[in-house]
Amino acid sequence: MEFSELADLAGAHAAARAIQVALKLELFERLSGGPLGSDQIAGAIGCDPRALGLLINAMVALGLLEKNADGIGLTPGARRFLLASSPEYLGGMILFEEAIFPLWARLEDSIRCGKPARTPDMYQRNPEETRLFIRAMDSLVRARGDAVWMAENVDLSGVRAIADVGGGPGTYLVEFMRRLPRLRGAILDLPATLAVTRKIFSERDDVPRRIELIEYDYSTHELPSGFDAILLSNIIHSEDEAANRALFARCYRGLEAGGIVIVKDHVMNAELTEPAAGAIFSLYLLLTTPGRDYSFDEIARWLRESGFTDIRCRALPSPPFNSSVVTARKI
């Protein structure tokens, strides 16, 4: 590794924090109608002109803003990913990262003691935390295109009813059901999450009415009957090994005969070092959950122990993705 590579990695927090603050200050939204002068922007958002000028310069350097004779304007990338009106808006995820940024200051403590920096609660205790978390999941998936890829590449042609366990905003389920008009679906999730799901659904005009919302705790409840497919997207990384064994066993018991379980997650190599995004993400999980990212061997073992067969793994194309899909069948 060269000096510049290491220096960029070690200092990446500065750029990340600058983008978070710019988004929180609604800097990009203020420019959605066209270029403005730096002082105009400072007055509109109530910031010190000199300090805001430094932030604007940083955004220009990062390729998110541009300066021209008309003033400060958005680049195409900022307009695509940083305006709330865009279908590829990534801001929900960035604002969630902004909210949990202080936890990274406690990483050393978590590594020394092995405990999360916050009490794991799946962001259920505080309504604002729930809102930020669920909208972040929706934002990330829509901006990157995960749900579209899944709907185009996971074969559900023989499926009549699918349970999206821990499905949150329903981003994947909506995409599946838009393409399969005879498919019936349900999002099974915790009460505080479903309150946000209902709000998100009320804002969208493409949500099929065939989606049912069911209050469900996958750590304690048996799966409702009648489903021949289960989707577990970015679920198992939040749990420890024992909880995942129990979850897969519940999935097996609840699935109809011949049913399929679909696990989408960072699926690591045997050494847990690749994909690199998954190895780094496991540190985030250390700060916030009892889980980590798991290898295919671990996932396949839990599935076999539960009774599943025909276990397969397919990596999503990288870039832009860094996850994989594991499928298995109930005989």
Predicted local distance difference test score (pLDDT) of residue 139? 97
User: Domains plus CATH for the chain?
Assistant: 3-86 (1.10.10.10), 145-329 (3.40.50.150)
Q: For residues 185, 191, 193 and 194, what is the CA-based torsion angle, rounded to 10 degrees? A: 40
Return phi, psi of residue 187, to 5°: -100, 120
Over 111-159, what HEC string results? HHHCCCCCCCCCCCCCHHHHHHHHHHHHHHHHHHCHHHHHHHHCCCCCC
Burial class (CB in 10 A: 0-12, 13-18, 19+), 196: buried
Q: At what angle do helices 49-61 and 38-45 cross, to 10 degrees?
A: 120
Longest pairwise C-alpha distance within the chain: 67
Tokens describing residue 314: 């397919």
SS3 state at 204: coil
CB 233 within 8 A of CB 172: yes
Q: Phi and psi (nearest 5°) for 88?
A: -105, 25
Please report, for the chain, how many H helices and E strands are present, in that order. 15, 11
Q: Which of 252, 229, 238, 258 is nearest to 306 (CA)?
A: 252
For each of the chain's 331 residues, which pLDDT tens digit applies? Answer: 999 999 999 999 999 999 999 999 999 999 999 999 999 999 999 999 999 999 999 999 999 999 999 999 999 999 999 999 999 999 999 999 999 999 999 999 999 999 999 999 999 999 999 999 999 999 999 999 999 999 999 999 899 999 999 999 999 999 999 999 999 999 999 999 999 999 999 999 889 889 999 999 999 999 999 999 999 999 999 999 999 999 999 999 999 999 999 999 999 999 999 999 999 999 999 999 999 999 999 999 999 999 999 999 999 999 999 999 999 999 9
pTM: 0.94
**Which residues make beta-bridge pairs with 7?**
none
The candidate with the shortest Cα–Cα distance to 315, out of 247, 255, 264, 241, is: 264
Whole-number pLDDT of residue 148: 97
**266 close to 200: Cβ distance less than 8 angstroms:** no
Helix/strand/coil for 72? strand
For residue 67, the cross-strand partners are: 72
Q: Is the Cα dihedral 274, 280, 286, 290 positive or negative?
A: negative
**Strand 71-74 versus strand 65-68 pairing type:** antiparallel
DSSP 161-202: EEEEET-TT-HHHHHHHHH-TT-EEEEEE-HHHHHHHHHHHH
Find all residues with CB under 8 Å of 182, minimum gap 6, and list them.
160
CA distances from 73 to 29, 50, 77 (A): 11, 18, 12
Q: Would you state the structure tokens that stand for residue 38, as one six-digit string?
A: 């730096």
Helix (H) or strand (E) holding 99: helix 91-100
